[in-house]
């Protein structure tokens, strides 16, 4: 009986230690990559804007939903060599917005992932550089049911290039309820066109006001 109690006590310690280690450890990492567009969405011979990788999402502006990570998306983009199957996933975006992507805010449900610890970085993967730096990485303080995995700054993702959300350490099917908000910076040409339009509109309005004032002055003579 004493031996049985000792065995149960030891098992309890082991289980408790495992539980603590899981709570304190990092269970998955996430980063945002910027690979060559031809590798991520447009294999050789496939026209730009017509992704040969069927897991590639075209971004022209606005929010993206749903965001579903998959191992197939990684494999289609040439990522995953040497990684254990079922422990990594990707979401691939082809930036056809005409503007540079400079931020990405991701949200996923905590429950399907058992509220695992998250780690975000800008360390790249499989020889590909990360495009954005880390802003926040963990449970959303405004929504206790979701992660807030936010990225901004860094090199960004230029028009015609691809963006890959890469996750390693958890089954990609556990990332559920995914949504994303993408921030962009207009290209210089667009800014110049906008500024020119505003200037011309200002000159036109100034001329109309001046003409009206002159007519009013002439009428009062």
| pLDDT single digits (tens) 60-108 | 998 999 999 999 999 888 888 899 999 999 999 999 999 999 999 999 9
Contacts of 127 (CB under 8 A, 6+ apart): none
| pLDDT single digits (tens) 7-21 | 444 344 344 443 333
Per the model's pLDDT, the better-predicted residue between 12 and 36 turns out to be 36
Contact 58, 49 (CB under 8 A): yes
Instruction: Indicate the pairing of strand 143-157 with strand 99-109.
Output: antiparallel
35, 163, 164, 200 from 102: Cα distances, Å: 15, 11, 13, 30
Whole-prediction pTM value?
A: 0.71
Respond yes or no on whether the N-terminal peptide bond of residue 66 is cis (omega within 30° of 0).
yes
Run of H or E residues at 31: strand 28-33
Cα(42)–Cα(192) distance, rounded to whole angstroms? Answer: 30
Confidence band for 25, pLDDT divided at 50, 70 and 90? very low
Identify the CA nearest to 89 among candidates 104, 75, 107.
75
Per the model's pLDDT, the better-predicted residue between 53 and 23 turns out to be 53
| 192, two tokens | 């110049």
């Amino acid at each position: 009986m004493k031996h049985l109690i000792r065995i149960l006590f030891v098992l309890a310690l082991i289980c408790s230690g495992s539980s603590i280690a899981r709570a304190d450890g990092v269970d998955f990492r996430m980063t945002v990559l910027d690979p060559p567009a031809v590798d991520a969405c447009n294999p050789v011979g496939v026209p730009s804007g017509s992704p040969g990788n069927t897991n590639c999402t075209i971004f022209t502006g606005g929010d993206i939903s749903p965001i579903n990570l998959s191992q197939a998306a990684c494999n289609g983009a040439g990522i995953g060599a040497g990684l254990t199957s079922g422990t990594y996933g990707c979401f691939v975006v082809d930036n056809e917005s005409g503007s540079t992507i400079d931020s990405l805010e991701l949200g996923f449900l905590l429950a399907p992932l058992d509220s695992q610890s998250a780690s975000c970085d800008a360390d790249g993967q499989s020889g590909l550089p990360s495009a954005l730096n880390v802003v926040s990485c963990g449970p959303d303080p405004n929504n206790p049911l979701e992660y807030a995995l936010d990225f901004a700054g860094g090199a960004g993702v230029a028009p015609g290039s691809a963006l890959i959300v890469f996750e390693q350490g958890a089954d990609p099917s556990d990332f559920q309820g995914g949504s994303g908000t993408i921030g962009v910076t207009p290209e210089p040409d667009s800014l110049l066109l906008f500024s020119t339009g505003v200037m011309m509109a200002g000159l036109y309005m100034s001329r109309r006001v001046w003409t009206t004032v002159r007519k009013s002055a002439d009428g009062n003579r």
